[in-house]
A = this chain, B = another copy of it.
Amino acid sequence: MTATQTTTTTAVSPIPESEYKVKDLNLADFGRKEIELAEVEMPGLMASREEMGHKKPLAGAKVMGSLHMTIQTAVLIETLKELGADIRWCSCNIFSTQDHAASAVVAKGTASVFAWKAETLEEYWWCTNRALTWPDGSGPDIIVDDGGDATMLIHEGFKAEMAYEKDGTLPDPESTDNAEFKCVLTTIRDGLKTNPKRFRNMVDKMVGVSEETTTGVHRLIERARDGTLLFPAINVNDCVTKSKFDNVYGCRHSLPDGIMRATDVMLAGKTVMICGYGDVGKGSAHAMKAAGARCLVAEIDPICALQATMEGFQVARLEDVLSEVDIVITATGNKDIVLLKHMEKMKNNAIVGNIGHFDNEIDIAGLEAYDGIKKVEIKPQVHRWQFPDGHGIIMLAEGRLLNLGCATGHPSFVMSCSFTNQILAQVELWENRSSGKYENNVYILPKVLDEKVARLHLKHLNAKLTELSTDQAEYIGVNAIGPFKPETYRY
């Protein structure tokens, strides 16, 4: 299906109202138009539909997704649908839903969606829980996870059920200071009495999860190492066509996009500090340099730091350059990067934002507790925090992912790479649901699939691959159709 052939897609929703919650179904038409445009930019997903659509390889699979409910995700969802899946979805971030995307998916009857922009934490976990619960009370067969929240809820639910069965212990939301974990425990506790086997039943039939992010994979690997992982997991994050594309090139696109939409500030001539020079930091720093900024990098890893120097970035510590920097962006995947003591000393109207993972890269809590500080909303997702001395900083997206909060996240094309890996992972899990191929461990997709994902995206860019002769393939000891590199190859 190309963008030009669709007609009355939003006619009547076959999804009953109790089975979705989005902001406004009237946004569906606008969402549908954007989905159709995005389809042209997501050749990997469209090729998957063409190649596998008629075979319905996901027929019978109940797929739950916890992943930013954007236009691009809508194309992913509709591809899963085309492959035969029965789908429920929620977002993995309280700010990242694009309401018109959510509405369009519901209006077309593609999936049950529970997501809207700017959820409260309570609402967020309510949505996640609802997305995990099919009308008949059962749970999903396979999960598409981003950051691991759905997986975490199941694991915590499972643990709570075991404790409850053992001695009637109920999860105690007061036992934690973490506002988010309070919600998780409340959600589990409230369900426990009605159905004390719900999560165990879910786990029993769970085929597996495919995880999108570094953070989520990190959590999965810890569980696998500890022996507590309850079902197989495919690490989509570490596909080359994910981590070296979405992370690098996605951020190179969406960092300046987010800053510009939020602040309209001229990037040229500014001094920018990028904290972290991993894949996200690499994309971010190059974007700032490309825009004419003077870009500095903060790093803890000497190898990444040396890479930064080779690209002409000055490697410095944040505390040493506070009087110079106009923009500070965190891209570390760690916590406590931009601290109060930094923000106090920044230039007036210095811009602070995060493109890493969680909002704890920046000490938002510290700001909120600061005596005499004022928080003024310039516009949604853009706040000026004014210190008592009168100078202020501009905080983007409340310290959460600024590219999703202040712009529309990564563009369709790069998400098509990531999401085509998701499709391949979901099919792989489902087709092997009884093969015993996957144990409760974390797996990588085979390189040949990674290469396939790349291949599906080249034609759209007019790229023409050279082909190996048999003779050449033999000479370097590979198969002429790939895979072409050893597993350890770094790209």
Residues of chain A at interface, number, CB under 8 A: 118
Chain B nearest CB: distance from A410 CB in Å?
8
Copy tally for this chain in the complex stands at: 4
> Contact: B269 with A413, CB < 8 Å?
yes
Interface: A120 (CB within 8 A): no
Chain B nearest CB: distance from A181 CB in Å?
15
> Contact: A299 with B266, CB < 8 Å?
no
Cα(A469)–Cα(B336), bound, Å: 9
Cα(A490)–Cα(B291), bound, Å: 23
> Contact: B411 with A301, CB < 8 Å?
no
> Contact: A314 with B302, CB < 8 Å?
no
Interface: A18 (CB within 8 A): no
Partner of A491 from B303, B463, B465 at Cβ < 8 Å = B303
Selected interface stretch from A79-87, A151-159, A476-484: A476-484
Q: Smallest CB-CB separation from A268: which chain B residue?
A: B310
Interface: A457 (CB within 8 A): yes
Interface residues of A in 272-331 (CB under 8 A from B): 275, 279, 289-295, 298-318, 320, 324
Partner of A407 from B33, B260, B390 at Cβ < 8 Å = B260
For A313, the chain B residues whose CB sits under 8 A away are 294
Q: If A294-B314, A463-B315, A484-B301 touch, does A264 touch B412 (CB 8 Å cutoff)?
A: yes
> Contact: B461 with A269, CB < 8 Å?
yes
For A243, the chain B residues whose CB sits under 8 A away are 490
For A404, the chain B residues whose CB sits under 8 A away are none
Interface: A59 (CB within 8 A): no
Interface residues of A in 1-49 (CB under 8 A from B): 2-5, 30, 33-34, 37-38, 40-41
Partner of A271 from B33, B462, B482 at Cβ < 8 Å = B462
Selected interface stretch from A134-142, A433-441, A447-455: A447-455
> Contact: B482 with A349, CB < 8 Å?
no
Selected interface stretch from A60-68, A172-180, A250-258, A423-431: A250-258
Chain B nearest CB: distance from A35 CB in Å?
11
Q: If A458-B309, A461-B270, A469-B336 touch, does A451 touch B303 (CB 8 Å cutoff)?
A: yes
Q: Which of A294, A311, A386, A468 has the most CB of B within 10 A?
A: A294
> Contact: A454 with B303, CB < 8 Å?
yes
- Dominant SS among interface residues on chain A: mixed
> Contact: A304 with B491, CB < 8 Å?
yes
Interface: A89 (CB within 8 A): no
The 4 closest A-B pairs by CB, nearest first: A290-B290, A315-B463, A266-B411, A302-B454
| A-B contact list, 22 entries, CB within 8 Å | A3-B392, A33-B384, A34-B378, A244-B490, A253-B291, A264-B408, A265-B413, A266-B411, A269-B310, A270-B461, A275-B466, A292-B311, A292-B312, A301-B485, A302-B455, A305-B458, A306-B458, A306-B461, A315-B463, A315-B464, A317-B465, A324-B462
Tell me the A residues contacting B by CB distance below 8 Å: 2-5, 30, 33-34, 37-38, 40-41, 71, 218, 222, 238, 240-241, 243-245, 248-249, 252-253, 256-257, 260-261, 263-271, 275, 279, 289-295, 298-318, 320, 324, 333-336, 348-349, 376, 378-379, 384, 386, 390-392, 394, 407-408, 411-414, 417, 450-452, 454-455, 457-458, 461-469, 471-472, 475-477, 482, 484-485, 488, 490-491
19 new A-B contacts, CB < 8 A, other than A269-B310, A302-B451, A303-B450, are A2-B390, A3-B348, A4-B390, A4-B391, A40-B349, A261-B261, A264-B408, A268-B311, A268-B413, A269-B413, A269-B461, A271-B314, A289-B312, A294-B314, A302-B452, A305-B454, A305-B458, A306-B454, A490-B491
